[in-house]
Structure 1
């Protein structure tokens, strides 16, 4: 695709993309490569969306994504432009991939898959062989899902009507609960927690999530966990570079405030100071925000009740900490499962309240990457999943800071709080102000059956002819790889529309 070509008619169209996250930059790059004149409008001062970075006192903090799974999705995107991942950053496979901290023990998850199976076997007799079977199923789901299903636009059920896909869909276990599926293989609560954690962090109770999502366990336990040296910001920068090399103009600090719609199509976008003519728009900012705040009611596909009745993945309370000493016991990725998993899940998804005894996650990239902290220091990213829509005043944030740090210090066996030289918190109200995120969600819509594939908010507006959506609130779902794929699909669908217009 890296040989630039004009659109079918030879005409170049003006396309506007709202949002410079992974979905927006991916969509912009694909559309520019097809010969369109593409401009990305980003409301914040930096690119990357939730994968923004900031620097302070010699520390470089990734503000959002920190798990690099599904490396093939990044590889596939770069290959569209004749590039490889290594053209942009060095990818390091972590060993251990991550650690899970239980009440009285730490479980390191090795990079080597055979060693992971041996670890399972040492905890529960027979579970090594069961894990191989479970992951083989997950791998099948991943291959079918990633090759045949995930790049479909989700317009209607007919996309999935080929006999092969229908037959494969039965094997994908869309109608089996993830929780039930896992319990057919494993009994030990530690193994269950290890298998179920990606579901908790990316949306929905395990019992409400289709068993299809065991494909994530294949990604995490067999493909492995990677880290882009220099941090996730390097990945965002690589997407910006590809976009600009393809001819995209990326404008920051440009908040789109309204659309002009003529004969059912957007003709102009308005920022505070300017009016921009356009032939088509991809909205990769928050879907709800675009519909409810940029479109008049008669042009909205979904009303407010629709959004109120969706199941959202969590928001989170985050702390970015600079610590002026090394913390020996921490690994790069640390999952604290020293409290009750089920109770915290209920508090996120059902009761929607601040958790009593939360699980949490600590990322310490300075274990792998000396560039993100001054010598002799640690860079910590502490994340606690919470329900969306909670009030998050400083007093609540501070209370939880001390709850989490107490448990972290107990695990580390040393004082950390008195060595914190930089601290910044980030939570629900920040997600709203920075990303216009509906109720401060961090990860989009939960992966429930009724919110999978064709049941997600549509990629194409049903009321505005030249408006398409990308990002974590539409197909295929939350996370960086799905957002990249979402941008690619949206661009392909918009190009089809432009071709018919020419």
Structure 2
């Protein structure tokens, strides 16, 4: 039985591996010249940049994925635990470093706010418990029914689904810096902490409990590992392969039109943008209307800069966050007023601090990211204006001059997300994980209108992020295997 997969992001590669292992004949079609979807790589003038994700969290999910094939992570790439995990600037001479052990983080909290070390300990205990429930009981479920969420353990957590991360954090910690550090991981779920159920504090356990890691060679080495595994399992991968249409006869898929040629397939699975995938069907075969998508709360888009410096950068860590601007104002501009931020928070990654492969000797590779509202006007002039904003603040906060040391500068923003990934309104992370878009309330893995058409990725279950994308690939492949016996 032939399965054609659209796209080659983490969810597509994961599902390709599982389906090939189950005995299906799997071919994967990627429109770009590199596999990886949003996790592609840029190499220029001796510098290397991860174009998309740069954080390696929840290492247990990656381990489980490779174990499912009798493999280990270390068979494919080497991991290093970052110490410190990251640094957060709240202004000039005002920074907090997050260590690589919970005991040290508790000590840091205690120094900032007496009494908060013990509070953090109990908060992370709860978060660990939620993490175990989420990973063992919930996230590997297909989102077919509300009953998937009702287990003896989740019933005890009902109140947490109707409270928010923001309320939980602010009720326990008074110092604004500590509040922001605890709210920060929720940004990976693509929503405001004030809109995210308290149960999702399991992300704080992912952060403080499991730590922040770096795969040697960057996140793209994970893509290459999954690509290698897929090929070992017999998956055929086609790059520069643009899918123009999903072919349907009498309500059932018959294959794809790729680069103007028809490809036969018994099953089609799309890891491409869900909204875009449905535009490859006749309007009467689409499950979700434009109005449906327009009403959804999307995770942010991003303005990214890939910068190569001709010197090493001081006073920063591999992952460095700049929270020297008002958090709430920026969140309102992303989700509510949906406009370019006046004074944005931003994130910077310096992978060459940890990994020599990212930059020539005595030089530094940097990635700067500003979270943005989706569908904003995107011009070279606006991008440049925002680069100036953040580099001016960067120089002031870190007490150094870097502008004249730039050798390489590339950018990626809303228009690129649309053009390169067919991303709905240029979103970077998919659908936000708010209560009304959780589990069975997300777009479905299986089409109700077209037989043997399935979906995977960050617009369906379980949600945004790299580990959830791996899990989504497994959920989709399990559903296909269950419903299409070989």
Q: TM-score, normalised by structure 2?
A: 0.98
Q: 2:448 aligns with which of 458, 462, 470?
A: 462
1:396 aligns with 2:382: yes
Partner Cα distance (1:166, 1:373) in 2: 47
Partner Cα distance (2:182, 2:149) in 1: 28
Partner Cα distance (2:156, 2:32) in 1: 42
State whether residues 121 and 127 of structure 1, in contact with CA within 8 Å, keep that contact through their aligned partners in structure 2.
yes
CA 1:81 to 1:201, structure 2 compared with 1: closer, same or farther past 3 Å?
A: closer
Q: CA shift at 1:112, angstroms?
A: 1.5
Q: CA shift at 1:392, angstroms?
A: 0.9
1:28-427 alignment to 2 at 5 Å?
28-104=16-92, 105-162=94-151, 164-170=152-158, 173-291=160-278, 293-427=279-413
Partner Cα distance (2:456, 2:389) in 1: 37
State whether residues 188 and 465 of structure 2, in contact with CA within 8 Å, keep that contact through their aligned partners in structure 1.
no
SS at match of 1:152: coil
State whether residues 4 and 26 of structure 2, in contact with CA within 8 Å, keep that contact through their aligned partners in structure 1.
yes
What are structure 1's unaligned runs of at least 5 residues? Answer: 1-12
Q: CA shift at 1:279, angstroms?
A: 0.6
Q: CA shift at 1:202, angstroms?
A: 3.5
Partner Cα distance (1:269, 1:134) in 2: 49
Q: C-alpha deviations, 1:3-49, integer Å up to 9, x for none?
A: xxxxxxxxxx1001111010000000000001110000001100111
The match for 1:429 is 415
State whether residues 255 and 267 of structure 2, in contact with CA within 8 Å, keep that contact through their aligned partners in structure 1.
no
Partner Cα distance (2:243, 2:268) in 1: 11
SS at match of 1:122: helix
Q: CA shift at 1:395, angstroms?
A: 0.4
Q: C-alpha deviations, 1:309-365, integer Å up to 9, x for none?
A: 000110000000010101121110000000100000000000000001100000000
Q: CA shift at 1:169, angstroms?
A: 4.4
Partner Cα distance (2:176, 2:453) in 1: 47
Paired residues in the alignment total 485
State whether residues 18 and 284 of structure 1, in contact with CA within 8 Å, keep that contact through their aligned partners in structure 2.
yes
SS at match of 2:4: strand
Q: C-alpha deviations, 1:194-216, integer Å up to 9, x for none?
A: 01112235422211111121111
Q: CA shift at 1:161, angstroms?
A: 4.1
State whether residues 200 and 345 of structure 1, in contact with CA within 8 Å, keep that contact through their aligned partners in structure 2.
no
SS at match of 1:192: helix
Partner Cα distance (2:254, 2:484) in 1: 14
SS at match of 1:385: strand
State whether residues 189 and 463 of structure 2, in contact with CA within 8 Å, keep that contact through their aligned partners in structure 1.
no
State whether residues 201 and 385 of structure 1, in contact with CA within 8 Å, keep that contact through their aligned partners in structure 2.
no
What are structure 2's unaligned runs of at least 5 residues? Answer: none
Q: 1:485 aligns with which of 434, 457, 471?
A: 471
SS at match of 1:270: strand
Q: 1:471 aligns with which of 457, 462, 466?
A: 457
Q: C-alpha deviations, 1:106-132, integer Å up to 9, x for none?
A: 111000110000100111111101101
Q: CA shift at 1:411, angstroms?
A: 2.2
SS at match of 1:102: strand
1:452 aligns with 2:438: yes
SS at match of 1:414: coil
State whether residues 327 and 412 of structure 1, in contact with CA within 8 Å, keep that contact through their aligned partners in structure 2.
no
Q: CA shift at 1:170, angstroms?
A: 2.5
Q: CA shift at 1:168, angstroms?
A: 4.5
Q: TM-score, normalised by structure 1?
A: 0.95
